[in-house]
Amino acid sequence: MVQLRVWLVSSLTTLLLCTKSVRADGTGLIGYGKTLYNPPCSFACRSVIRKQTLSCTPSVPSENHGTAHNPVTTPPECFVQDIPFLKTMALCIDVYCALSDKPPANLLEDYWVSHLGTGTLGDYQYVPVMSYQDALAAARKDEDDATASNATTSMSESVPENLVPYRVSSPLAITTGGSDVLNETQLVSPVEWQLQYNYLSDFEVNEKGHSTMTLVVTIVAICLPILLSLLRFIPGIAASHGWSYMKSMLIYPPIFGRNHRKPVAGGIGLPNRGQSLYILLISFLNIILLIAPYSITQPQASYTSRAIQTVGSMGDRAGTMAMGNVVALFLFSSRNNFLLYLTDWSYSTYLLLHRWLGYWAVIQTVIHSAMLWGHYVKAGTYADEILRLYWIWGIVGTVAVCCIIPFSLPQIRHKFYEFFIVSHIALSLLFLIGYYYHIWYVYEYNWGYEIWMFMPAGIWALEHLVRIGRMIFQGSRTAIVTVIPDVDGEYIRIDIEGKALNTGVAYLCFPTLSWRFWETHPFSVSGLSSNVQQEHLHPSETEDANSSPGLDANHEKRPVEHTTTPAAICDASSGRHTSITTFFARTRGGVTKALTTRASGSDSKQVRLRVVIDGPYNHSGQVYSQLAQCGSMLCIAGGVGITACLPLLRQSKTKYTKLFWSSRKSGLVNNLTPTLNAFPSNVKVEILVGQRFNLDSIISQELIDHDGTGSKGLLAIVVSGPPGLADDVRVKVTQLAKSGERTHAYVLIDEAFSW
């Protein structure tokens, strides 16, 4: 008869496996697809007696069948075969679940066939030799036999202060757990059961809270730019004077002072007010959601005081919230960030927000490590914890993420860019690896924490696969690098044969320029001036691909301003037309200095190099959609910043378009004069060499609605050039718009790229 029951139970369990997932507790994050202790009343029963010795418990334990913090020496198959254990569990579930959670019968049945062996996450491979109903019937029979034999049991126990256990009675002996032998049916102590129930219930609620708060941080960080960008689709809002005034107050100005792009103390520029509002919101969420209400019940089985429970729970939450920030910051740093296509925010803005999310990821990681360290020190178990692999890998991850901050300081980024980028990638990946093993050695894939590592790792991997794919698709090209005359070696021109790019930023890789053949550097796509003739294609200057002189550290990493327009020139030797894409760059450090040095070494001041292209990318936001709404455009450019304006001016369809360009070097102006002369007739150009424009006069003339008719419509103000120039224009425009003067509605477009 017993064998028949075992066969029936096994058959029913097999049938159950055919209709459900092997993971009895679901998949996903805790609280969102995955549960830990459902129902907690049954888990509390097993937690009390999990360490008791059964008839099949090994006399010399050799393996831990529990968790790192709750070791169990009895193997899972022993639990599901031991009759006294099964009857004790069935009686406990029937008594206490009816008084507390009142779970449905099917949930109890599911718990019985999936959790008795493991005690934690369900596993249907451990089949109890008795069904729940059979074990309960046998336990009740034991109670009847004990009553008939006039057995009595003392129910007196020491009850901790503030604990109110259920009042239960049974003729059976009471078990309080521990390592005592369990060789007969017993009633689980109501005091011990209540302590475990309080702990498990709190833990489940708090773990769901950790998932919720982390999801909120992640979703808000990623979706807020989309929601705010939808405002631009409100009919008539762009041309509204009220909207322009609001942006002049809350969006465009620096958070304080006059500097936005120009570095201040610490070598960084200040965010504008719009960016600051986003940073303030994310900072508020990181603080308030970390200290948000927790489920705290005392006394309980694990945490000995309210303070210790709060510290432990808050430390756990900080660890998950750190990863919520990491997911968003990995996305924001990507060149192929899908938000660049859904919003009108620039890549420079996303990189700035990437840094602030990084600060919060570091802060939350440090809080997690410090609080858990303090918790284990108070619990007296720190000496044991520090030897465990999960703790060691946690230290690795914490140290790695903390090192990112000093290695990313502006002084390091500007002077030692190559070191910065290599260390940034290496430390970021080391942090993800440390987090992965920190989770693996405690939970493996059982609690869903690994998902927070897989998301940023997937973003990073996909980003680099897309980059490689784009570069393969573009193919290898020939770049002709020329030192522009009459600029004292300060500017170079790069013409890429056989490629026609219209606008945006392209990342160029010169594999034969140095031993760092993998590096790509951003250059703004410009347009081909008409004076590019056959001398730029001189075959005698073909570069030896094996020559690789060293590369100096890049002083400043910003898309080396240039412009790009497809152009075709006639190759005299073959009679065919070749598409050319042109870039202009100012010589600083790093790759631009190496290119200038290589080109200057030849008699013709130019050199041929192999180049691989990743791009182009639209890093300035939805500029063309904004310009499409404008009736007039004012461009103010300084130096090589003209290159970012050229595609906009070349495609200008506004009735009134003016360009004011100041350059320190006449050679750059001479080189671009044919391009400027080819602009549409609606574009008016004014150029100063070695002087600065009177910005107050220019901006007042264009922004103030002098006749009060608003005939120019929405005004686009585009600035591209040195940080000081851009900040001056930003401040003067916003001050004038707030002054009370009748001004045109406007949009401010700062064509800048920063790291």
Name which of 81-95, 295-309, 519-533, 633-647 the model is least confident about.
519-533
Closest alpha carbon to 139 in 181, 187, 96, 191:
187
User: Would you say residue 544 has pLDDT above 50?
Assistant: no
pLDDT given for residue 26 in this prediction: 85
What is the mean predicted confidence (pLDDT) over 108-116? 93
Instruction: Check if the beta carbon of residue 675 is closer than 8 Å to that of residue 527.
Output: yes
User: Would you say residue 521 has pLDDT above 90?
Assistant: no
**Of the options 3.30.450.20, 3.40.50.720, 3.40.50.80, 3.30.565.10, the CATH number for the domain spanning 623-750:** 3.40.50.80
211: β partners? none
User: Would you say residue 555 has pLDDT above 50?
Assistant: no
pLDDT given for residue 603 in this prediction: 83
Name which of 11-20, 438-447, 647-656 the model is least confident about.
11-20
Q: Mean pLDDT over all residues of the chain?
A: 85
pLDDT given for residue 708 in this prediction: 66
State the pLDDT confidence band at 5, using cuts at 50, 70 and 90. Answer: very low
What CA–CA distance (Å, rounded) separates 704 from 260? 24
The tokens for 419 are 């070191």
pLDDT in tens, 599-619: 888 888 889 999 999 988 888
Instruction: Check if the beta carbon of residue 514 is closer than 8 Å to that of residue 551.
Output: yes
The per-residue b/e assignment along 107-132, b for 16 or more CB within 10 angstroms, e otherwise, is: ebebbbbbbbbbbbbbbbebbbbbbb
Let me know how long the chain is. 755
Name which of 165-179, 269-283, 470-484, 543-557 the model is least confident about.
543-557
Residue with tokens 């969006």: 251
User: Would you say residue 574 has pLDDT above 90?
Assistant: no
pTM: 0.86
What CA–CA distance (Å, rounded) separates 530 from 569? 9
pLDDT in tens, 719-751: 998 889 999 999 999 999 888 778 889 999 998
Domain boundaries, the chain: 2-188, 198-294+307-468, 475-617, 623-750
What CA–CA distance (Å, rounded) separates 500 from 578? 9
Instruction: Check if the beta carbon of residue 545 is closer than 8 Å to that of residue 595.
Output: no
pLDDT in tens, 668-724: 999 888 888 888 888 899 999 988 999 999 999 989 877 766 667 889 999 998 889
pLDDT in tens, 426-472: 999 999 999 999 999 988 888 899 999 999 999 999 999 999 999 99
User: Would you say residue 200 has pLDDT above 90?
Assistant: yes
Return all residues near 596 (Cβ < 8 A) that are at least 6 apart.
483, 489, 492, 587
pLDDT given for residue 118 in this prediction: 87
Instruction: Check if the beta carbon of residue 57 is closer than 8 Å to that of residue 32.
Output: no
Dump strand ranges (E) for 14-166.
26-30, 32-34
pLDDT given for residue 709 in this prediction: 66
What is the mean predicted confidence (pLDDT) over 318-338? 95
